[in-house]
Structure 1
Amino acid sequence: MGLISGTSVDAVEAVLCKIEGTGPSVTLKLLTHVSRPFPPEFIQRVLGPQDARSLCELNFELGERFAEAAQAVITRAGLRNGDVDVIGSHGQTMAHLPTSLSTTPSTLQLGEASVIAERLGIPVVSDFRTRDMAAGGQGAPLVPYFDWAVFRQPGAVRAFQNIGGIANVSVVGERLDDVLAFDTGPGNMVLDGLARRMTGGKLQCDLDGQLSRQGKPIPALLADLLTHPFFALPPPRSAGREGFGEALVSFLWEQSPDRPADLLATALAFTVEATARAYEAYVLPRFKSLEAVYVSGGGSRNPALMERFTARLGPVPVKPLDTLGFPEGAKEAACFALLAAEHLLGTPANVPSATGARRRVVLGKLTP
């Protein structure tokens, strides 16, 4: 059995999976899924300015929250902690600095693995991104291995579009070496930040698209956003809060604070257009026929975003990941359960064609 305590900035997602085999023969069955939202004040602490003391405290507090979620999903499954072989914990990304942003490529995820291991008495694999970066990669995206292992279909080419805080795509055929994957750019990060400002913190996101539907995109502002230097980078590439976080949200808010709904509509159009242009530049010229684009992440639950993205990418079919029988909210958590299981077996699980690493490496660090 493998278990993951993973996190976005707004919740901990924990899943329990049964994993058998390794590499091309690996199989994964999702058994249970638990989602535990963070309180709004805790989200603000994570997103707020940090110093060494606050990072130190957050590291251990996140570890406690992850441990609680992991225990909850084991209990819900009716199992004992001793039935679980390993916990995989991605942690909360506080900084991600690939070569495009720093002369010292580096990444930082918090959520102390020792706390999780001590509370549950189960080995923990964590810190998955650092080994890929040490091998010359971007440390992201890491989900392509999961997409290939779990969702590949003989004779078909499928695209898996995640729209989380950052948006990324994996294009998967039968061979791992042929996988194309990269961050397409902004996902919900800008939308979420504007939604918090527009509602005074009452909403943490553009819930059901209700805020962005109230406005219209501001053409000149959208055109300016699409000149962001990230979009000039070819794959492999990765993005983060540094490029599409609170600094960009503040910039947008300053442009038209009296037009918050229009700003949200602009942010939604920004995500859709940036994602579609990434397909036009890098995916569709290489893969002439996609079976479909399967969407997961919080953006897949925003009907306004999905309607715009489906129309913009047509005639390529766009479908929710759930149509493959896998709940989209559990996907990223299940990914790190798989990566933890592969760590125990010594199986490399990065995809150099996606991250730019010099070679395939075993991901993560083990806390017994």
Structure 2
Amino acid sequence: MRVLGLMSGTSADGVDLVLAEFTGSPPEVAHRVLAHREVAYPEELRMRVLRAMRHADTREIALLHHDLGRFYLEAAFPFRGSAELVALSGQTIWHEPPRATFQLGEPSHLALGLEVPVVYGFRSMDLAAGGQGAPLVAYPDLLLYGEAGKRKAVHNLGGISNLTYFHGKDPSSLLAFDTGPGVCLFDEAAGILGLTWEEATALAEKAKPDEEALKTWLSHPYFQAPPPKTTGREVWRLEHLSPLPQDPARLLRSLLELTARSILEAYRRFVGQVDQVLLAGGGARNRVLVALLSQHLPVSVMENPKVREALAFALLGYLHAIGEVNVLGRATGGRDLRAGQRVEPG
């Protein structure tokens, strides 16, 4: 079955699309990536998404929900006639487990425009089943990257940082959780400073971190809480950090150090020894962050780090379509279930 996975992450910068072909059923699912496309949000749409994460009114959210649906259709239209099914993550604008998780992007636009069924609402169903609504990609990670005898972690450096750990292909070894901020704070600071990603990275590369600020930031209770746990941009904003270094370069370096040190502490406290850590997500392109992690973990950057999550969502959709469990409770804190809802093209 050819499935198109669409993933919009906590970086809120656009959508990754992966068309993949799947055969078989767990524990042996074969896959082949046929195409990948990355489409950035237009600046005006991205500003509306970021505003919805903070203080948008009901009308703004309703309009954005459908405008995102139309944007997803436009991004996916080149795959019309190639995909037999679409799996949509939606754009998370609020994530506060166990009470609520909320994604935007009306799936009916995709179903009607591409004339194929769309599976969506994965997070909401897991939350209703007692889970955190994330990380949803843990079971797909195990099926896609599990290797006999190897202790692996797949680590996503998105706006929020999350990991999946497994030993071989054993579901009972699965551990998945958000470690804390990924690059959301670094991105926010770069935007406020009017810097491009490369300019901000170059500044951070030459600077020293503010150790006093880091000591305070790393005392945040989230880092001490045991898995399963998830977090979001609602928690990790610059306005919630104090003190903030005044020097721009020092601020940017300190934010990357916060991400790296909180990740390393998460492996030390909750994961233990690993043979390989596969880095994915936009943050895997940040050379400073990758260098900090490489000093203490056996990391390797995926060939295309932006493929991983969209591919995982495509697999979630495939498992739903063939009637299989696609979310494991040991990863999200809920129960094993076939998560997702399906809208037909009419």
Task: Name the TM-score, length of structure 1 as normaliser.
Answer: 0.88
Cα offset for 1:255? Answer: 3.4
Aligned position for 1:134:
128
- Could you say which residue in structure 2 is the equivalent of 1:239? 231
Are 1:339 and 2:316 matched, yes or no? yes
> 3-state SS of the aligned residue for 1:138?
coil
Other structure's SS at 1:224 match: helix
Counterpart residue number, 1:152: 146
Task: Give the 3 Å change call, closer, same or farther, for CA 212–42 of structure 1 in structure 2.
Answer: farther
Shift of 1:157: 1.2
Alignment equivalent of 1:276, drawn from 264, 278, 281: 264
Q: Which amino acid aligns with 2:324?
A: T
1:366 to 339, 342, 346: 342
Amino acid paired to 2:279:
V
Contact 2:200 2:252 in 1 (8 A): no
Q: State the percentage of identical aligned residues.
A: 35
> Residue 54 of structure 1 aligns with which residue?
60
2:247 corresponding residue in structure 1:
259
User: Is the 8 Å Cα contact of residues 194 and 253 (structure 1) preserved in structure 2?
Assistant: no
C-alpha contact (below 8 Å) 1:208/1:301 kept by paired residues: no
Show structure 1 runs of 5+ residues with no match: 75-80, 100-104
**Equivalent residues of 1:6, 1:333 under 8 A apart:** yes
> Partners in 2 of 1:177 and 1:61 — Cα distance?
41
Residue ranges of structure 2 left out of the alignment (5+ in a row): none
Residue 169 (structure 1) aligns with:
163
Per the normalisation by structure 2, the TM-score is: 0.93
Please tell me whether residue 69 in structure 1 is matched to residue 75 in structure 2: yes
Residue 218 (str. 1) matches residue 210 (str. 2): yes
2:217/2:241 contact within 8 Å kept = no
Seen in structure 2, the aligned counterparts of structure 1 residues 109 and 367 have a Cα distance that, compared at 3 Å, is: same
* Equivalent residue letter for 1:69: A
Q: Which residue of 1 aligns with 2:41?
A: 38
CA distance in structure 2 between the partners assigned to 1:169 and 1:16 by the alignment: 23
Say whether 1:317 aligns with 2:298.
Answer: yes
- Find the aligned partners of 1:259 and 1:27 in 2 and give their Cα distance: 50
Tell me which residue corresponds to 1:355: 332
Question: Equivalent residues in 2 for 1:61-100 (5 A)?
Answer: 61-72=67-78, 74=79, 81-99=80-98
Q: Deviations over 1:314-355 (max 9, x none)?
A: xx4111122xxxx22111111111111111112111121111
1:182 aligns with 2:177: yes
Residues 271 and 154 from structure 1, CA distance in 2 versus in 1: closer, same or farther, beyond 3 angstroms?
Answer: same
Q: 2:18 aligns with which of 15, 18, 25?
A: 15
Q: CA deviation at 1:84?
A: 2.1
Shift of 1:5: 2.2
1:304 aligns with 2:293: no
The corresponding residue for 1:111 is: 105
SS in 1 for 2:324: coil
Classify the secondary structure of the residue corresponding to 2:77: helix
SS at the partner of 1:32? strand
Identify the structure with the greater helix proportion.
1
1:286-297 to structure 2, matched below 5 A, reads: 288=273, 290-297=274-281
Distance between the aligned counterparts of 1:209 and 1:126, measured in 2?
35
Q: For 1:181, what is the secondary structure of its paired residue?
A: strand
3-state SS of paired residue (1:26): strand
Query: d(CA) in 2 for partners of 1:193 and 1:58?
Result: 21
Matching residue of 1:78: none
Q: Conserved in 2, the CA contact under 8 Å of 1:13 and 1:36? A: yes
Q: Is the 8 A contact 1:13 1:69 kept in 2?
A: no
Shift of 1:251: 4.3
Total equivalences in the alignment: 337
Of the structure 1 ranges 329-338 and 171-180, higher mean CA displacement relative to structure 2 is found in 171-180
Matching residue of 2:117? 123
Shift of 1:130: 1.2
Check conservation: 1:253, 1:263, Cα contact below 8 A.
Answer: no
Please name the residue that 1:227 is paired with.
219
Counterparts in 2 of 1:108 and 1:206: CA distance versus 1, 3 Å: farther
C-alpha separation in 1, matches of 2:123 and 2:222: 20
CA distance in 2: counterparts of 1:318 and 1:83, whole angstroms: 35
How many angstroms does 1:211 deviate by? 3.2
Shift of 1:7: 1.5
The root-mean-square deviation of aligned C-alpha atoms, in Å, is 1.6
SS of 1:137's equivalent? coil
Amino acid in structure 1 at the alignment position of 2:263: T
Classify 1:293/1:150 alpha carbon distance in 2 versus 1 (closer, same or farther; 3 Å): same
Aligned to 1:197: 192
The CA deviation string for residues 163-189 of structure 1, in whole angstroms up to 9 with x for no partner, is 101111111222112111111111011
Q: What amino acid is the match of 2:90?
A: G
SS at match of 1:255: coil
Separation in structure 2 between the aligned mates of residue 261 and residue 291 of structure 1, nearest angstrom: 34
The amino acid across from 2:325 in the alignment is: P
